[in-house]
């Protein structure tokens, strides 16, 4: 059985707290290892290593820092298949989906390789008589990221890639459910030439999280997870003077207009609703057909597609999706399906009793499809995070626009239509952070920013793109004048650029 400790000071170290939790193999339901849960002292040891190493790393010129990131990219390509297999084994997503997880993380590291340009300041010559003004971006120091189980490669790289490129040292607290890939990424960063102590991985639970939030040497923290925890981390981090960007849950809608290409819309719903067993913060979990005719046509095509979804082990290249991450996650999702029936929604496809032959103890569930879901139902209001799609029928475009706009969450939304006016109006008016037009999962590319609104996000700057550079740096502005331009005598009034 594997023993997973921490990665501190450039090397793997065993846990010393005496506390562990099991790491399961979702395909079989068996325990494949155990991971150490850090104490406050172990977290502090990582911070001390980071604090000692960071000044020299920040003093390394940005081009040299970028070269480390470039070598890391090459090493990840070398290890691509083995990383995907490890990820799938711990998370449960299929191998192709695991490769997508890795690739979307690497794209942000690619963006961070442009750090010599991204960290450039501004300069104004002659802002006043003999006065020049310029600005510079400088690293914050030691920063941290607390990342979720559902993207164990992508989101850690979204966090540590820009942070390290900016000259910071980074403390990563990944999910204890699937810690193997984050540990391996840290090893590859060292192989790429990153100095020891700049990237530390501390595995743990709430004790490690609270230690991060309370540590005075950690200047900023990024989080992705559920909304209640995001709000908790945001408030506690702000209370200790840290910068915080905290992203929470979602209830992503897809509007299907009467003029939409129905085959295209169904394909989009199947992939975006059931891929990765629905364990994505950008999964489409609510379909909103406009008009009963559209709804009936959608259900006619959707039901057989959901019934024919192929659920299988992560190693099956023909599987549409694999198991959920844990038994507790499986039970939670089934509980929501039970609740939806109690609330009066129509369960058109029931995947609760799915069993995988030869993998009877795995955490599998078939696709579920609800029709006639109402906005006051809990299955509409709350994030289910499983292979469950709810259809909410809207009588017209105005109601379809209102549903995602008035929902508590505001992460992502999509509209499928051939009407450019409707699409433009929807994109302008919907109160959601990321919008797709005939694109079901509108995750922006790496040089744009990613982030939801309302209860989906707490804090101002978003993830990756230009916002990540702003978040992980502080701006210093210098006003300079040299002796030849100075007048004798003290000045007591406010300086004016005249």
Q: Which residues are catalytic?
A: 281
H and E: helices and strands count for the chain: 16, 23
Residues 6+ apart with CB under 8 A from 384: 278, 285, 333, 336
Question: Which of 365, 388, 145, 353 lies closest to 243, judged by CA?
Answer: 145
C-alpha distances (whole Å) from 202 to each of 16, 35, 442 are 12, 10, 31
Pairing mode of beta strands 412-416, 434-437? parallel
CA distances from 57 to 41, 64, 139, 142 (A): 24, 10, 10, 11
Beta strands 6-8; 11-13: pairing state = antiparallel
Compute the distance between CA of residue 269 and CA of residue 284 in angstroms, rounded to an integer.
Answer: 7
Which of 177, 181, 143 is CA-nearest to residue 54?
143
Q: Is 64:122 a contact under the CB 8 Å cutoff?
A: no
For 256-285, b/e burial (b = at least 16 CB within 10 A) is bbbebebeebbebbbbbbbbbbbbbbbbbb
């Amino acid at each position: 059985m594997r023993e997973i400790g921490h990665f501190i000071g450039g090397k793997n170290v065993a846990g010393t707290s005496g506390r562990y939790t099991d790491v399961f193999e979702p395909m079989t339901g068996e325990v494949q290892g155990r991971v150490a849960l850090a104490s406050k002292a172990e977290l502090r040891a990582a911070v001390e290593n980071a604090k000692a190493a960071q000044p020299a790393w920040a003093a390394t010129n940005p081009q040299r820092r970028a070269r480390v990131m470039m070598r890391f990219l090459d090493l990840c390509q070398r290890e691509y298949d083995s990383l995907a297999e490890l990820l799938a084994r711990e998370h449960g997503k299929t191998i192709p989906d695991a490769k997508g997880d890795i690739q979307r993380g690497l794209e942000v590291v690619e963006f961070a390789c442009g750090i010599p340009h991204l960290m450039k300041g501004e300069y104004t010559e002659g802002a006043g008589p003999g006065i020049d003004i310029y600005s510079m971006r400088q690293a914050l120091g030691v920063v941290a990221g607390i990342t979720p189980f559902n993207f164990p490669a992508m989101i850690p790289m979204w966090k540590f890639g820009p942070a390290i490129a900016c000259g910071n040292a980074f403390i990563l607290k990944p999910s204890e459910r699937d810690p193997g890939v984050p540990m391996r990424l840290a090893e590859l960063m060292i192989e790429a030439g990153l100095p020891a102590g700049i990237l530390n991985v501390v595995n743990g639970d709430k004790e490690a999280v609270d230690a991060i939030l309370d540590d005075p040497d950690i200047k900023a923290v990024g989080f992705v997870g559920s909304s209640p925890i995001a709000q908790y981390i945001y408030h506690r981090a702000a209370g200790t003077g840290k910068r915080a960007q905290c992203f929470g849950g979602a209830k992503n809608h897809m509007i299907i207009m009467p003029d939409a290409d129905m085959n295209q819309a169904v394909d989009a719903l199947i992939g975006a609703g059931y891929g990765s067993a629905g364990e994505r913060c950008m999964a489409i979990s609510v379909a909103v057909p406009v008009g009963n005719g559209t709804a009936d046509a959608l259900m006619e095509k959707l039901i057989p597609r959901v019934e024919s979804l192929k659920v299988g082990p992560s190693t099956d290249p023909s599987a549409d999706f694999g198991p959920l991450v844990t038994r507790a996650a499986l039970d939670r999702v089934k509980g929501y399906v039970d609740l939806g029936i109690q609330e009066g929604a129509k369960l058109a496809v029931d995947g609760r009793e799915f069993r995988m032959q030869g993998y009877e103890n795995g955490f599998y569930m078939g696709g579920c499809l609800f029709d006639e879901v109402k906005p006051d139902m809990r299955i509409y209001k709350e994030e289910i995070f499983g292979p469950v799609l709810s259809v909410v029928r809207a009588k017209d475009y105005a109601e379809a626009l209102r549903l995602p706009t008035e929902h508590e969450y505001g992460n992502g939304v999509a509209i499928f239509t051939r009407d450019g006016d409707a699409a433009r109006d929807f994109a302008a008016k919907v109160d959601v952070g990321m919008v797709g037009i005939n694109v079901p999962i509108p995750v922006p590319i790496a040089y744009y920013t990613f982030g939801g609104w309302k209860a989906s996000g707490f804090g101002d700057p978003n993830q990756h793109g230009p916002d990540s550079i702003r978040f992980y740096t502080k701006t210093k502005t210098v006003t300079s004048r040299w002796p030849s331009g100075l007048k004798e005598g003290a000045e007591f009034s406010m300086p004016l650029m005249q």
